[in-house]
Amino acid sequence: MKRTVLICLLVAGLSLTGCAGQQGSGGSEQGGSGSEKSCDIKNPPLFEDGVLTVATDKPAYPPWFEGNPENYSGFEGEVANEVAKRMDLPIKWVVEPFNKSYAPGAKDYDFDINEITITPEREQAVDFSEGYFDDAQGVLTMKDSPFAEAKTISDLKDARFGAQVGTTSLEFINETVKPNEETKVYDTTNDAKSALESGQIDVMVTDLVTTVYLRDFEIKNSVVVGQYPRNEQFGMLFEKGNPLVGCVNQVLGKMKEDGTLQKLKEEYLQQYLSVPTLKK
Using CB under 8 A as the criterion, which residues of the chain lie in contact with another protein when the complex forms?
2, 6, 9-10, 12-13, 16-17, 19-20, 23, 25-28, 30, 99, 102-104, 121-122, 124-125, 162, 165-166, 170-171, 174-175, 182-187, 191, 194-195, 197-201
C-beta of 34 vs 67, nearer to another protein = 34
Give me the least distance between CB of 224 and another protein, in Å please. 21
Minimum CB separation of residue 114 from another protein in Å reads 15
Please, which residue, 27 or 90, has the CB nearer to another protein? 27
Would strands 161-164 and 184-186 be described as parallel, antiparallel, or unpaired?
parallel
Cβ density class 195-220: b for 16+ within 10 Å, e for less: bbbeeebbbbbbbbbbbbbbbeeebe
**Closest separation in Å from C-beta 189 to another protein:** 13
Name which of 73 and 194 has its Cβ closer to another protein: 194
CA angle 73, 63, 234 (to 5 degrees): 95
Q: What's the closest the beta carbon of residue 141 comes to another protein, in angstroms? A: 16
Give the Cβ contact number of residue 157 at 10 Å. Answer: 14
| Residue with Cβ nearer another protein (116 or 275) | 116
| Amino acid occupying residue 66 | E
How distant, in Å, are the alpha carbons of 68, 101, 207, 266, 278 from that of 214? 20, 23, 11, 19, 19
Q: How far is the CB of 139 from another protein (least distance, A)?
A: 17
Pick the closer one to another protein by CB: 204 or 264. 204
Count Cβ atoms within 10 A of the Cβ of residue 40 and give its class: 0-12 exposed, 13-18 middle, 19 or more buried.
exposed
